[in-house]
Amino acid sequence: METIIEVKELHKKYKKRKTKEIVKAVDGVSFEVYRGEILGLLGPNGAGKTTTIKSICGLLKPNGGSVHINGYDSDKQRLKALNYISAVLEGNRNLYWRLTARENLEYFAGNRGVGRKEVKQKVEDLLILFNLKEKENELVSSLSRGMQQKLAIAVALLADTEVILLDEPTLGLDVETSYEVRELLKRIVKEQGKTIIISTHDMPVVQELCERTVIINNGKVVADEKVENLIKLFESRAYCFTVSDELTQQQITAIKSHFPIYEISDQQIEITIERENDLYIMMDILKSEQTNIEKIDRTSVDFEQVFMKLIKEGQENDRALASS
């Protein structure tokens, strides 16, 4: 695996305008992106994803750390480094609303140095690839949100950069268009060998599209792993106890204090264990009030649950560190 982007010990602080409070938006984030992969950059609201993405594409200057793109330092060799990247940022579609879809593509192609002769063919290819041919002469302002999003991605492809950064590419899209965008992204990676970084809250997108994910919480990386491995890891740790009696308050308190990750509903208790011994601790808690255990199952998990659990674990670790 060849590294195309290396983010090392990135730090970015903001000063809140009103309160003058310092916010550590990104607090020592490091990860690598490999050539030809789709990497998911995830985290809850305010985790630091947009700040990370903006630092990678040169829109923000970090307070510390570095970003290397294909070996070029994005600060000291800015132009060379940024040559490898195009970005579609959330809420900023980089489009001219009073121009048509085709005019936007032609304008940006010229702007990004595509030769005159090539422009026609390139624009034509993208209109077909993105299923926008029928709408080529419509003003962007009259296109649906999904079509605008597709056009914004098409514009990002014009410069033919190796890396494309997409901030929330499926946000607000209907099911069908979201599916179309996902399929397109897969095709672009497969056929054009692009590297894509997606920042998203859309977990099915991650499960389906991303091979690997970097999860950020409170400005720190809490997981950097293949999606498939994370699901397997949590599946091997997730148990569901079915009991025939209602739990007492003491038992619930004991479960909460022993297991950072738990879910109690009716007569089912789901826990994630760290060590084999945790299973016996759980059985002891149940036996302490003669609760009858009907069965113990391994439970299957989807990526959404994995994500929630990782965030919860990260918060537990932060609390433990703060109180030690």
Q: Where on the chain is the footprint of ligand ATP (CB under 6 A)?
A: 14, 16, 23, 25, 43, 45-51
- CA atoms of 222 and 44, how far apart (whole Å): 12
Q: CB within 8 A of 191, min separation 6: which ones?
A: none
Least distance (Å) between residue 27 CB and ligand ATP: 10
**What is the closest distance, in whole angstroms, from the C-beta atom of residue 298 to ligand ATP in the complex?**
32
Pick between residue 76 and residue 145 the one whose CB is nearest to ligand ATP.
145
Residue 178: CB atoms within 10 Å: 19
Q: Which of 91, 115 has the CB closer to ligand ATP?
A: 91
DSSP per-residue string spanning 262-302: EEEETTEEEEE-SSTHHHHHHHHHHHTTTPPEEEEEE----
The two structure tokens encoding residue 261? 């990750």
- CB of 169 vs ligand ATP, minimal distance in Å: 13
Maximum CA pair distance of the chain? 81
Rounded to an integer, what distance in angstroms lies between the CA atom of residue 37 and that of residue 3?
10
Q: Which is nearer to ligand ATP, 114 or 216 (CB)?
A: 216
Amino acid identity for residue 287 in this structure: K
Cβ-based nearer residue to ligand ATP, 167 or 270? 167
Residue number with CB closer to ligand ATP (213 or 291): 213
